[in-house]
Amino acid sequence: MTKPRIKTLAAVACAMAVPLVSACSLDEILSVHVPGKVLEEDLTSPALAGVLTTGVVAEVECSWNQYVAGAAHHSDEYVPTSGNLTMRNWGQRKIYASDQGYAKGTCGGWGYPMFTPLHIARFQSQDVMSRLSGFSTEDVPNVASLQATTAVWGAFSLVPMGEGFCAMAIDGGAEMTPAQVQSEAESRFTQAISMAEAAGDMNLAMQAKLGRARVRLAMGAWDGVLADAAAIPDDFVVMVTRDAAESRRYNYYYERLNAPDGFRAHGSVADNYQDLRIGADGMPTTGGDGMKDTRVNVKTDGTQAADFATVLWYHDKYNSRADPLPLVHWHEARIYEAEAMAMKGDMAGAIEKINVLRGDAGLPEVDPAAVAAGGIMDLVKEERRRQLFVLGGHRLHDMLRFDIPFLGEPGSIHPDGRDQTGAEYGNLTCFQLPEIEVKGNENISG
């Protein structure tokens, strides 16, 4: 496969084969006869409408799970501790465009395959949307709801493409900048919101609005961020389901990073996330006498990580292969509002939103008098670092947009280019457009 143009039968069969295989290879599906499985003509059957929609959700969940864990490992949230070369390369910023696992790996694969799974999810959502449009309400009474579900979940596949990648290409098209991908994502979320509202599914519409708020934040569209985030109540959460049945469904945060016994511990929570506290004035601190910041609850029992050289630090957010992880969470809405207000010069409003989150975590509120003149964005950035710790791949995007030093760079906890064991870091920041895409896409030069 030289381009992310996924054949319909293969993509749908991949989703429907989840209970039967631990990793889904499109090449194998295309070349092996599997009696009794999905036939091309069956994909136009109204009886499969629900199955097709469920397949879209499953593909988005799997690709999201793999991207957000890989983004966390690549960010400054973890230091590399793997005894495996591939996994060590992920933690040392050495997974480049030529890496075949990164470029071609599918859901449940080794490392953090993300490029192909994201495109499978994106393509499948568009294909299923088209198929559902051919069904009448007589054939499928809830077809409008299924279409809205497909549109909303499918739009989320574009979020990582616009945040974590240096460039992107869609369906063999021209190379796109992150800003262009974000614009496309905004359009798809807007369409999805209209569909969800027309179907009378307000929860689905809120899910899409929170996704669009995230995209608009990346675009710097502050008024749009505030409009979308204001629609999200303080208890709204949509989770990505996981289970321990087979590797495609494992929680990758746990499986790759957060096993507290040291087994499979390919990363350890970085030094700059240990012993984070809140002072009496509500300002964030590290160490000292302040209250422990429960949002970054990391600990160690002295166990060594998989490299047998680094003491393993882990957190309490994902504790098994079956633990779900957030797709969207109301905490994001409030921190988005805080950033948008800060960027618009509304310091009081930004602090108010931060204090809502502080109250939910049982932490002291920020005293406005303690915030230095012109320092509100510094506070917002630090609150994002803590509030969104190992959630949703946010930290990698923040490092890129705020120019925060990556591990190995001056200003990081490893400023001399080497990790805690003396091993050298690479120079990767955003994820590169895979070499196989560049070479196989006639619309990309180079």
What are the tens digits of pLDDT across the range 95-116?
A: 999 998 899 999 988 899 999 9
The sign one gets for the Cα dihedral 158, 164, 169, 175 is positive
pLDDT exceeds cutoff 50 at 21 = no
Are 10 and 30 spatial neighbours (Cβ–Cβ below 8 Å)?
yes
Q: How far apart are CA 296 and CA 275, in angstroms?
A: 8
Indicate the pLDDT class of residue 41, thresholds 50, 70 and 90: low
What pLDDT is recorded for position 446?
A: 59
pLDDT at 195: 97
Mean pLDDT for the stretch of residues 49-75: 96
Protein fold of 1-446: 1.25.40
Name the residue ranges covered by the structural domains of the chain.
Answer: 1-446
For 168, phi then psi, to 5°, come to -150, 160
Report the distance separating Cα 109 and Cα 111, nearest Å. 6
Give residue 77's identity as a one-letter amino acid code: E
Local confidence band at 15 (pLDDT 50, 70, 90 cut-offs): very low
Task: Please check whether residue 368 is in contact with residue 347, taking contact to mean a CB–CB distance below 8 angstroms.
Answer: yes
The Cα–Cα gap between 177 and 437 comes to 15
What pLDDT does 265 receive? Answer: 87
Q: Which residue has the higher pLDDT, 236 or 45?
A: 236
Mean pLDDT of 341-348: 97
> What's the rounded Cα separation, in Å, for the pair 375 and 369?
11
| Arithmetic mean of pLDDT, 202-227 | 98
How high is the mean pLDDT of the chain? Answer: 90
How far apart are alpha carbons 215 and 224 in whole angstroms? 10
Least confidently predicted of 90-94, 109-113, 212-216, 398-402: 109-113
Contacts by 222-229, CB closer than 8 A, 24 or more apart? 222/340, 222/343, 222/344, 223/340, 225/336, 225/337, 225/339, 225/340, 226/337, 226/340, 226/341, 229/333, 229/334, 229/336, 229/337, 229/340
For 419-444, what is each residue's pLDDT tens digit?
Answer: 999 999 999 999 999 999 999 999 99
Percent of the chain whose predicted confidence (pLDDT) is above 90: 82
Q: Is the pLDDT of residue 20 over 80?
A: no
pLDDT of 13 reads: 41
For residue 20, count CB atoms less than 10 angstroms from its CB and return exposed for 0-12, middle for 13-18, buried for 19 or more: exposed
Q: Would you place residue 11 in the very low, low, confident or very high pLDDT band (cuts 50, 70, 90)?
A: very low
Using only C-alpha atoms, what is the Rg of the chain?
Answer: 22
pLDDT at 142 over 80: yes
Q: pLDDT tens digit string along 236-262?
A: 999 999 999 999 999 999 999 987 776
Are 212 and 197 a contacting pair, CB within 8 Å? no
Q: Which residues fall within 8 angstroms of residue 88, CB to CB, at 6 or more apart?
A: 80, 82, 266, 307, 423
Q: Between 220 and 23, whose confidence is greater? A: 220
The pLDDT score that the predictor gives to residue 6 is 35
Q: What is the pLDDT of residue 445?
A: 74
Which range has the worst mean pLDDT, 131-135, 188-192, 202-206, 375-379? 131-135
3-state SS, residue 50: helix
Residues 377-404, mean pLDDT to the nearest whole number? 98
The answer to whether 218 and 162 have CB atoms below 8 angstroms apart is yes
For the whole model, what pTM was predicted? 0.90
Residue 295 has pLDDT above 50, yes or no: yes
User: Helices then strands (H, E): number in the chain?
Assistant: 17, 9
Indicate if the pLDDT at residue 16 is higher than 80.
Answer: no
Residue 264, pLDDT score: 78
Which residues sit opposite 239 in a β-bridge? 326
Give CA torsion, residues 102, 104, 109, 114, to 10 deg.
Answer: 50
Reference 56, options 118, 136, 137; nearest CA is 118
Q: How confident is the model at residue 157 (pLDDT cuts 50, 70, 90)?
A: very high
Residue 238 β-bridge partners: 328
List b or e across 36-67, with b for residues whose CB sees 16 or more CB atoms inside 10 angstroms: eebeeeebeebebbebbbbbbbbbbbbbbbbb
Position 49 pLDDT exceeds 70: yes
- Residue 278 to residue 133: CA distance in whole angstroms: 52
Specify which of 43-57, 96-110, 342-356 reaches the highest per-range mean pLDDT: 342-356
What local confidence, expressed as pLDDT, does residue 39 receive? 59
Average pLDDT over residues 281-290: 93
Q: Is the pLDDT of residue 331 over 50?
A: yes
Q: Residue 40: what pLDDT?
A: 63
- The distance from CA 63 to its chain's CA centroid, rounded to whole angstroms, is 8
Q: What is the CB neighbour count within 10 angstroms for residue 30?
A: 12
Residue 257: DSSP 8-state: I
Residue 404 has pLDDT above 70, yes or no: yes
pLDDT of residue 306: 87
